[in-house]
Structure formats: C-alpha cells, structure tokens
Amino acid sequence: MSDNISPLAPTQSIELPDIKGVTCRVARAQYKDWDRCDLTFVELIEGTTVAGVLTQSKCPSTEVEWCREALSDGKARGLVVNAGNANAFTGARGMEAVERILDLASQHLDCSKKEIFVSSTGVIGVPLPKDKSETGLKAAFNAEPCSWKEAAATIMTTDTFPKMATTSAIVGGKKVTLNAIVKGSGMIAPDMATMLGYIFTDAAVDAVFLQKMLIDATAKSFNCITVDSDTSTSDTVLVFATGQTEAPALTSYNDAGADAFAAALQDICMQLAHLVVRDGEGATKFIEIQVVGAESDDSAKRIGLSIANSPLVKTAIAGEDANWGRVVMAIGKAGEPADRDKLAISFGGVTVARDGLVVPDYDEKPVANHLQGAEIDISIDMGIGKGRATVWTCDLTHGYISINADYRS
C-alpha cells in the first residue's frame, strides 16, 4: 500500500449504504511488517447465492482452485480475504493453510466448507502462514463490524486508495442495492476478470442466472482493462446475493426487472474496472481506446488491447508525445484483419491520420495539448467492418519500475 495516492484517484469519497445480510469485519494477521489490518472476514446470511469468475492462468493459487470447486454449489455463507501473501505456487503447504481457514470459518458459521470462499493477494511463492491466518481470523470473528471503506482498505496491497462502488436497480417495483469493493494496481491484464473484486447485493438471484449475468458483465468491463499485460495467479471476482429485499427473485431474463439488474451489475463492474486502471502502478494518465470498423467485435477488442498493452504507446503518452506512428505499429502487430489504406486514427477527437496517410496540413499542437491532460482518448476506425470495442489502460512511467523493483522489500 503506497503513501502516495494516484493522481487519477477520485477526488471525492463515497459512502456505501448497508446491504442487508452482509457483515464485514477486519483484523491484523500481520502477513507483512506493516501497521494495518490485512485480513477481511465477511459473514453472509443463510440463503445467499454466489457466482464468480476466476483467472485462466495455468498457475493459479490454491484459493482460486478452491473457489472454482465451491462455486459449483452456488451457495455462500462467508468470505475470507488475505492481503500481503498470494499463497500461490506453494504446494501442499498452501492448501493446508486454506483448509485451516475453511475449517475455522465453517465451524464459526455452522455451515459447509463449500459455502466459504477464500482469496489471497500479495507475493507469489511464499506459503500463507497458518498461525498468522488462524490468529487473524479468530480476531476477525470477535471484531466489531467495520465500514465498507475499512474492508476495501484491508484488501489492498500496492493500491494507493480504497476502491468502492455502489449502484441500484428496480426489480418488480422494489429497489435493490449493489455494493462492491476491489483491489488491483499491478499485474493487471484480464483473462476472465482481474484482481480481487467482491460485489454484494440484497437482491434474490438464482445462482445459475447470476453466473450468466456476471460473465456477460465481465466481458465488457474487467476483460477490457489492462495495466501491464500480466495476468495474476489469483484473479477473482465474486458476486453474493443475499435475497434480503421484498423484490421478487430473478431466475432468467424473462423476469420483471432482470434487465435492470443486469445493467446495474454491468455498471458496478465497469466502475470497479476503471478504478483499477486509475490506480495502475505509477500511472499518471487514464487512457480510453475506442476501435470501430473492425471485422468483428472480438477483432476490435484484440486490436484495442494490442494498443493498450504496447510499452511504446504507453511511454509515448507518459511523455506527452503525439507519436501516432506507435499506434499504427500496435494495430499492425495485433494479427487482426486490417487495411492500411482504410485506417483512421484520432487523439482527443482530432484526426491525425486517414486513408493510410497523415492528414493534410496536420497540426500537432491540439493533439499535444490533449496529451498534457490526465484523460486521454484514442480512436481507431479500421474501415473494414462493423466490429467495435472499447478498452481502458494507463500510461507507463518510471514509477511502475520503482514499485515493482522494490515489491518484496
């Protein structure tokens, strides 16, 4: 956790309302030598349903493997999140630590172990200390309920500010609320979702339907952001629905209010995804890349991510250099259908290249002025189809190197 807050952080803090059926507590397990809480325990009322998306990394953490198994039942009573230790690539010792957490939490809540979900984030390759996790978890059991902001701060690692979001929807004439917290700053390149994110709602939603809506929401939010092109071993996004409102239960898109709830879920996922990019390690600029006119939506997305992941593009923007040739390079290397002579590129609404050439009488000054700001817009028209996509990233500065060179110290 950095003492220097990202210049892209929201200027105003928000207050999240209570979610009936959700109680958050935090404690100090002391996974690292820091003076802060680093274990979060969330108690969920009986009957809560759950859905989740998890990293597609071939080297996932034990926690990810456990969540994947537990999601098959679609029920949840508790969530435990450890910060400071990823417990990934730790073999049998890592599993022993997770088993101990599952035993303690399930006994405390008098429920099945498959109703307990666990996440860990931090350094890879160091087994989660069982003694510290046990001490921290028992302390959390006895702690006073905490605020959403405290829960969001506790799951942070290299993040510079707590990340929270809230929204609502009308289902069957009744209001339902969604709250969410997320952590993520580096090792951000989605391959399902990215980081650790947790969404809580008082709506009643069938687990299978909730899973479908989350996958759809993920595709246009978490899977459209990147900070550094690196996919974590621990990426997890979970949604918990407590059913503690008078709104009717949702089981399919045919139900009244289902579309509104799906839109709210999409909205809160987008809020979280943007907050992660705004806290990208060392970031000074938030970059939106729109691609239209591609062969397909998937092709447009791959082109957008090729641009967003290019160190040459990202460093040019960090240096406020209107070097649109680097965008051309990134489009060309994406491996997607393209026609150089139909391509158009704009920065901040100013067209710099069209039909395979720099525009006549190109004036770089307005583009340079745009790049001096903190919000950067890049638009690409491939000119060959109807595919479109939007992705988000940040610039690449020396701050990213400094943070990651010292990450384990």
Nearest 10 degrees: CA dihedral of 273, 278, 283, 285?
110
Question: Is 203:170 a contact under the CB 8 Å cutoff?
Answer: no
Q: How far is CA 142 from each of CA 25, 26, 84, 111, 134, rounded to the nearest angstrom?
A: 9, 10, 22, 18, 13
- The dihedral built from the CA positions of residue 72, 74, 78 and 80, taken in this order, carries a sign that is positive
Closest by CA position to 339, among listed 289, 387, 384, 388? 384
Q: Which residues are catalytic?
A: 194
Q: Could you tell me which residues come within 8 angstroms of residue 201 by beta carbon, excluding any fewer than 6 positions away?
A: 19, 176, 177, 178, 179, 239, 240, 241, 242
Residue 127 is classified by DSSP as P
142 annotated as ligand-binding: no
157 annotated as ligand-binding: yes
242 annotated as ligand-binding: no
Question: How much is the pLDDT for 303?
Answer: 98
| Residue 214 φ/ψ, nearest 5 degrees | -70, -40
194 annotated as ligand-binding: yes
Question: How many Å apart are CA 274 and CA 393, to the nearest integer?
Answer: 9
- Rounded to a whole number of angstroms, the distance between the first and last alpha carbons of the chain is 13
Question: Is 283:394 a contact under the CB 8 Å cutoff?
Answer: yes
The one-letter amino acid code at 161 reads F
Chain centroid, CA 365 distance in Å: 35
Question: Is 394:280 a contact under the CB 8 Å cutoff?
Answer: yes
Question: How many Å apart are CA 304 and CA 291, to the nearest integer?
Answer: 6
Give the 3-state secondary structure of residue 317: helix
Question: How much is the pLDDT for 195?
Answer: 80
Question: How much is the pLDDT for 289?
Answer: 98
Question: How many Å apart are CA 212 and CA 190, to the nearest integer?
Answer: 18
Question: How much is the pLDDT for 229?
Answer: 79
User: Parallel, antiparallel, or unpaired for β 350-354 and 357-358?
Assistant: antiparallel
- The dihedral built from the CA positions of residue 52, 270, 274 and 327, taken in this order, carries a sign that is positive
The one-letter amino acid code at 208 reads V
Question: Is 291:301 a contact under the CB 8 Å cutoff?
Answer: yes
23 annotated as ligand-binding: no
Domains of the chain: 22-278 (3.60.70.12), 286-405 (3.10.20.340)
Give the 3-state secondary structure of residue 352: strand
Q: Where are the beta strands (DSSP E) in 3-150?
A: 22-27, 39-44, 49-54, 78-85, 116-123
Q: Which residues of the chain have pLDDT under 50?
A: none
4 annotated as ligand-binding: no
> Which two tokens mark 68?
């994947």
What is the pTM (predicted TM-score) of this model?
Answer: 0.93
Q: Could you tell me which residues come within 8 angstroms of residue 49 by beta carbon, excluding any fewer than 6 positions away?
A: 74, 75, 76, 204, 205, 206, 207, 210, 240, 241, 243
Give the 3-state secondary structure of residue 263: helix
Q: In the block, which residue shows the tokens 């988000």?
A: 392
Question: How many Å apart are CA 221 and CA 218, to the nearest integer?
Answer: 5
